[in-house]
Structures are given as structure tokens and as C-alpha cells.
Amino acid sequence: MKLSAQWLREFVEIPVDDARLADDLTHAGIAVETATGSWDGPILDTVFDMDITTNRPDAMNHYGAAREASALYDLPLKPTVPKLPTAKPGTGFPIEIQEPDLCPRFTARVVRNVVIRPSPAPITKRLALLDHRGISNVVDASNYVLWEIGKPTHAFDLDLLEGGKIVIRKACAGETLKTLDGIERKLTNEDLIVADGRKPIALAGVMGGFDTMITDKTKNILIESAWFDPATVRAMSRRHGLHTDASHRFERGADFESTILSCNRVAELVLASGVGEPNGELEGDIIDIIARPLPRTSVILHLAEVRRHLGKELTYDEVCRILQRLGFTLTPATADENAELPVTIPSWRLDVTREIDLIEEIARQHGYNKFPNTLPPFSGSVTELPNAPKDARLRTSLLALGYNEAISMTFIAPEHAKTFSAADVLMVANPLSDEASAMRTSLIPGMLDMLAWNLNRGSDNVRLFESGNIFEKTATSRDEQKRICMGATGNAIPTSVHEKSRPYSFFDVKGDIEALLSAFLNSVAFDTGAAPYFHPGRSARAIIGGKQVAQFGQIHPDIAAVRKFRQDVFVAEIYLDKLYEEKLREPRYSTPSKFPAVARDFSFVFPETTAFEDIRIVVRGLPIPLLAAFDPVETFRGGNTAAGKYSLLLRAIFQSPDRTLREEELALWSTQIMQSLVNLGGALRT
């Protein structure tokens, strides 16, 4: 929205230059975004590009902005009183308001014998400054008044009104109205319209009708200035996708008391558009129908409240000065801080209804930056979110393990939402695109997108993690869960002058998961049976206390093929809702043994169906309390080992905290271990 500095200065003798004015207005909340010089003939004018907040429709015009300046500089605001000739006697025009709640007031006046022609130059130039093209003297007059005092008005071709009356009513289903923009609009019984005796002639407060508009042939006009209910105008504006300067103001609240002023001001400008003599003649008195008065409200202000909210003592005189300059009426009272000051709210300030609204007026006109900076005392304490230590622990570890922290979009394609989760999908009603129309049910699609992004740009070694929420639809609402997703592809060890590269493998991701989960108290077990989007032979689930806390592995080859991955891609999902049921491990320390550890190796051949975990469970179950460690050292397939079998080198470490181990007990334990391995189907390699 634009304002002309020259035009503003018509209403107040502003004592500062345009640049300073722009700055001062901005500091008072009437924000001037940019000020640009513009030549109006020989005069240099400044055009302010304004950013007026939605609660201040009263300041979206020159007179309203001038009022702010008058308060800022404590100078009088010149009144606007249209000078009209005496009207010819007339019969008036019947106006019937059927919806007093939605249209409490309708004001009109008739001007006859008007010649439709271009507006006088001063009018068109001013409108041009605000980027409005001149249309005709009558239409421009209405526009000019909108920018001058902010009240929308409309002019009808009186001779095209049928049935001899104006009715403000709800539209009937099936009625249509061709609006000024030439579009035929279907009306519903929720639309408030201005109609004549036969047909709709305007969408109330939004736009006039095409068939009754001012044309070159127009002779007699009816100028309308009404007050429409903000919510009704807004609903219509949205329903018809029609946002106009008029609807912008009506839906934010127009000035109930300016209908006569605006009507007369339009008439004055129309009459003044003649060459040498008045253009047309007024007929009859102004017609002003008030179907329902809008009461002027009054608010009690306490100086003590001003101080309680703002933290600074403002004098009674300053408070009065500010409010009066802004058009508020104060009944004289004493300066006692507990006294009640009744303040009457001006009709153009529908945003002010409470004491706090007055306090804001005082604060912004006083100047926010004149208030001191203080720090409030505090008697509470800082608490931590219950999962904060777990979040921090996992994040630190992930960074240390070489995973880069990433953030992907919260919405994904619906087919991905179904591929990576069995949950009901929460859909977005008004998505930016179909590919972003489902709330993510899994972090994996976003992770795969990010990995692909990197691979497509020549980054082959990528490790990323994302911590974020997934969403599921429930019977009546939604469920939101926090998860961590890790993604890795490329080399675990990059090629360098020192060593050969090694590709990232299942066991790298498993090791990272082990490292992350080792922060928690209870131990982790792994099993197969990860979700079907994983490679069935290269994936696993991590279980703590019977709960699946993570699953991970290589992505299924079919999914990798669809995404055109040319190298193995690994992902992991950690279910924080389940994992965070677990406690973090508090470390316990013991003195390392002073006595030597003894290692014994066992080389066995096993059928492929025997997993290391099977062996570990059996050996760990033996009654050997001094077995300190039992680990696989080497596996070997092929060569002398028959197909379907593999050879496995195992190492047991024995150690006592308080003595040196004896040969005979070592021999006994070795025999026990070997026997258990044989029982498992293993054969000692010879």
C-alpha cells in the first residue's frame, strides 16, 4: 500500500522532512517500508510504501496516517468538511435493510445530470502515484475518497436500477451477479448482496455489479457508503476469491461514523469535476438508514495499570495528550494513579476495546525505545526435558561416529508413506505438490532422497542422520513419534596414501548401532526379521527387553533399483519411543585383574545354519565363571571347507581377579567348550 507525503501534509503541518517523517511513523508502528521520490509535474513528492498491520485499517489512508503524525508531533489535525451546494428538492430513494446485523447502516445520495469524463489532473496524478489508473470522474472520486479517508464507497448508474428501490439482503440460491471484473458469479444464500427491486447489483463490501456500473452513457448516479459486518465480508471475499481494496477494509472494520462524510466527499469531487461549472446537481438530502446503531464503547484506564504493564511512569498529561490526538475522548479526571479515567473510543478504532489496547497506544506513541531495559527477577528453577540427556548422548555419539546431521522435508509422496510403514497415513489437505502430500510415516524416504542427492553430485561417501518426528493417523486423531534415521553409503575407510579403501558394510552399521545402544543399561540382542524394505539377508532388528528399538541394514535391492542406486546403501531406524523406555547406563568400575589372562583358540567347521549367536549362547551357558571373553576371530569359506559349511576360529580368554590359573583347570574348560561345539554340530579342524 502506498501513501503520498504531499497528500499527508494536507492534513497536518508536519515540521520534519519526508525521510524523518517516514522514520518517525515507523517507530510509532505505522511502518514505512521504503520512501521513493516521485515527480508530480514540477513538484517532487515522496511515495511511502507502507506495511500497515492488519489491526489498523484506520491508518490505511492518508487522513488516518496524518492523525498518527498529529499525535507524534502534537499538532492539530485539520478537519475534513465537504462543501456542497444546496440540493434540489427530491423524493429520496427507498432503501430497505433486511439484514440489520450484517448491514447496520446504509447511506446514499443522488447526483443528477453528471457528465462522465476523465477526472481533473490533480486527481488522476495522485491516484497514479498510488498505482491507480484513472477510469472516470465518478469512479475516481470514489477511489480518491478510499485513499483519502479510508471509507469504501460505490456509485451506481441510477437509471439502471430497476424496481425503484435498494434492498440489502441475503442472495437466493440460484441468483447470479456479474461483478465489475466481468465475471459471472453464482451466489449462495450465505452471500450478502445489495439488490435493486429485481436483481443483485453488488456483492456487499466486495465489488459492485457490472450491469449497473458507471459508463459513458451514465447521467444520474447514486453514491453508496455503507457499513458491512467484517466477518461476512471476509467470508464472501474468500468464497469468491475476490480480494479488493474495499473488502480489505470492510473485513478489518471500517468507520461506522464516516458514511455520510464519505458519501458527501464523493459528491463534492464529482461536482468539482466540471469544466468551469459544477458537474451535475445534488438531488434531495442524504439518505441515511441506520438499521442497528453501533454503540460507541468506553474503556476505563488506570495509570497504575499503564505502569504495571510498561514498567515506566508516564505522566497523566502525556497519556492524555497521546490519546486525545489519536481521537480518543477523555473525561477530565485527576492525575491520581488509582483514579479511573473513562476513555471513549473513536468510531474508526474497532481494534481498541480493552484497557490493554489503550496501553499499547500510549506505549507506541511514547516510543518503544524510550523505555528502559530491565531484567526481571525470577524465583523458579530450570528443569530439563525428561529425554534431554538421552537425546544429547545419541546426537553426540552420531556426530562422533561420522554421521552428518541433516534435516529433510516433513512431507513425502503417499506411495513412499505406504512402502515404509504399515500405519495409516495422515494426508495434507492443501499440499504444495502431490509428491509432498503425505505426512512422513518414516524418515527413510527423506534419507534415501538425501543420499541420492549426494550420489548424483559426485559425493560417493556419505553418512547422514536425521532426528525428527513421524506421523500416523489414528481413529480419531494422530500420533507423533520421534525417531532417528541413519544413512550410509560408499567407503567406511576412504582411499588414502596410507591405506586402501574399504566399502561400508552391514557390520559397519551394526557396529554403529551397537555403539549407540551401549549407552543404555540393558543389553541388546539382534535378530533377523527386519521390515521388508530391507535386504532380507543383510538386515537385522535390535531388541532390548523384548522391544524392537532399532532396525537396520542394506536397503532392499528392488528399492535400490527403483532409485537407481549404483552402490550399496545402508539405513537404520531407531525408535526413540521404545528406546527411551530404557535407562541410560550409569558406569560401574572395578579394578583390572593383576593376574595374567590366558587365551585358547578353537578352530571348528560348522554348517552354515549355525550362527555365531547360537554358539555364543551355548558357550556362555557353560559353568565357566572365569571365562572373561569369547569372540570369533576369523571365518573362512571355500578351500578345503565343504560347501554348506564354514570354518570358524574362536578365542576364549580366561582370567581370575585373584589368582593365577592352573593348567588342569584350563584343560578342563577347553574340553567343555570343545564338547559343546561338537554338540552343536561342529567338527574340530585338523
Partner 1 sequence: MYTVPQLTDFSGQALNAEKERLTDAVESEAAAVKDEAAQKLFRDRWMARKNGILTQVNDLWLKASPKEAKRDVGALVNDIKILVESTVDATALGLKPQSVTVSDRLDITLPGIRRPIGAEHPVLRTMNDVISVFRAMGYSVAEGPEVETDFYNFEALNFPPNHPARDTQDTLTIADQESKPLRERLLLRTHTSPVQIRTMEQQKPPVRIICPGKVHRRDTPDASHSPVFHQVEGLAVDTNITFSDLKGTLDHAMKALFGSAVKTRFFPSFFPFTEPSADVAISCIICGGKGCRTCKQTGWVELMGCGMVDPSVFDFVKDNGYDSTKISGFAFGMGVERLAMMKYGIDDIQLLFQGDVRFLQQESN
Q: Between 106 and 471, name the residue whose CB sits nearer to partner 1.
A: 471
Q: Is 241 a residue that touches partner 1 (CB under 8 A)?
A: no
Contact segment (CB under 8 A) with partner 1 among 13-21, 282-290, 423-431, 530-538 equals 423-431
Phi, psi values for residue 301, rounded to 5°: -110, 135
Using CB under 8 A as the binding rule, whether residue 338 contacts partner 1 is answered as no
Among 44, 173, 304, 432, binds partner 1 (CB under 8 A): 432
Closest to partner 1 by CB, 43 or 385: 385
How would you classify the pairing of strands 166-170 and 207-208? unpaired
In angstroms, the CA 607 to CA 265 distance is 100
Window of 50-58, 279-287, 570-578, 612-620 that interacts with partner 1 by CB under 8 A: 50-58
Cell numbers placing 497: 596414501
Alpha carbons 680 and 615: distance in angstroms, whole number? 7
Taking the C-alpha atoms of residue 393 and residue 571, their distance in angstroms, rounded to an integer, is 20
Neighbours of 234 (CB within 10 A): 18
Using CB under 8 A, which of 210, 316, 453, 526 touches partner 1? 453
Which CB sits closer to partner 1, 398 or 677?
Answer: 398
Rule CB under 8 A: say whether 511 interacts with partner 1: no
Q: Mention every residue, 6+ apart, whose C-beta is less than 8 A from residue 215.
A: 116, 157
Candidate segments 220-228, 445-453, 601-609, 675-683, binder of partner 1 by CB under 8 A:
445-453
Position among 67, 185, 252, 265 found at the interface with partner 1 (CB under 8 A): 252
Residue 501 near partner 1 by CB under 8 A? no
Q: Which ranges of 156-258 would DSSP assign to H, the alpha helix?
A: 230-239, 245-250
In sequence order, what are the residues at sequence separation of 6 or more whose Cβ sits closer than 8 angstroms to the Cβ of residue 370? Answer: none
- Binding of partner 1 at residue 372 (CB under 8 A)? yes
Question: Closest separation between CB of residue 361 and partner 1, Å?
Answer: 9
- Among 17, 337, 340, 405, contact with partner 1 (rule: CB under 8 A): 405
d(CA 476, CA 147): 49
Outline where DSSP puts E strands in 102-240: 105-112, 154-157, 166-170, 176-178, 184-186, 192-195, 200-203, 207-208, 221-227
> Which residues, 454 to 483, sit near partner 1 by CB under 8 A?
454, 457, 459, 462-466, 468-469, 471, 477-478, 480
Among 369, 591, 609, 640, binds partner 1 (CB under 8 A): 369
Binding of residue 434 to partner 1 (CB under 8 A): no
Give min distance, CB of 116 to partner 1, in A.
35
CB of 285 to partner 1, least distance (A): 35
CB atoms within 10 A of CB 528: 13
Distance CA 326, CA 303 (A): 18
| Long-range residue pairs from 342-345, CB within 8 A, at least 24 positions apart, any chain | 342/298, 342/299, 342/300, 342/301, 343/298, 343/299, 343/300, 343/301, 344/296, 344/297, 344/298, 345/296, 345/297, 345/298, 345/299
Among 43, 275, 400, 643, binds partner 1 (CB under 8 A): 400
Looking at the Cβ atoms of 407 and 562, the one nearer to partner 1 is: 407
19, 81, 409, 562: which one contacts partner 1 (CB under 8 A)? 409
CA distances from 271 to 40, 85, 115, 373 (A): 24, 9, 10, 56
Q: How far is CA 421 from the centre of its chain?
A: 27
Q: Which of 78, 88, 186, 312 binds partner 1 (CB under 8 A)?
A: 312
Query: Does 375 contact partner 1 by CB under 8 A?
Result: yes
Q: x/- site string to partner 1, residues 582 to 621, per CB under 8 A? A: ----------------------------------------
Residues in region 515-554 near partner 1 by CB under 8 A: none
What do you get for the CA distance between the two ends of the chain, in Å?
A: 92
Task: Write down the least CB distance from residue 461 to partner 1, Å.
Answer: 8
Q: List C-alpha distances in Å: 494 to 202, 497, 504, 568.
A: 73, 10, 10, 15
At residue 246, φ and ψ (nearest 5 deg) are: -70, -50
Among 43, 275, 422, 429, binds partner 1 (CB under 8 A): 429
Segment contacting partner 1 (CB under 8 A): 135-143, 362-370, 536-544, 668-676? 362-370
Residue 198 is a binding residue for partner 1 (CB under 8 A)? no
Subset of residues 157 to 196 that bind partner 1, contact rule: CB under 8 A: none
Number of residues that bind partner 1 (CB under 8 A): 90
Site string for partner 1, 3-42 (x = CB under 8 A): -----------------------xxxx-x-----------
Segment near partner 1 (CB under 8 A), from 51-59, 256-264, 503-511, 558-566?
A: 51-59
Contact window for partner 1 (CB under 8 A) among 207-215, 382-390, 616-624, 647-655: 382-390
One-letter-per-residue 3-state SS of 286-303:
EEEEECCCCCCCEEEEEH
How does DSSP assign 381-417, residue by residue?
Answer: -----TTHHHHHHHHHHHHHTTPEE----SEE-HHHH
127 SS3 class = helix
Q: Please select the residue that binds partner 1; options are 86, 91, 334, 496, rule is CB under 8 A.
A: 496
- Of 478 and 662, CB closest to partner 1: 478
Residues 54-73 that bind partner 1 (CB under 8 A): 54-56
Minimal distance in Å, beta carbon 432 to partner 1?
6
Contact stretch for partner 1 (CB under 8 A) within 108-116, 432-440, 565-573, 622-630: 432-440
- Of 91, 338, 430, 591, the one binding partner 1 (CB under 8 A) is 430
- Return the number of other C-beta atoms located less than 10 Å from residue 198's C-beta: 12
Residue 65: CB minimum distance to partner 1, A: 14
CA 108 – CA 289 distance, rounded (Å):
9
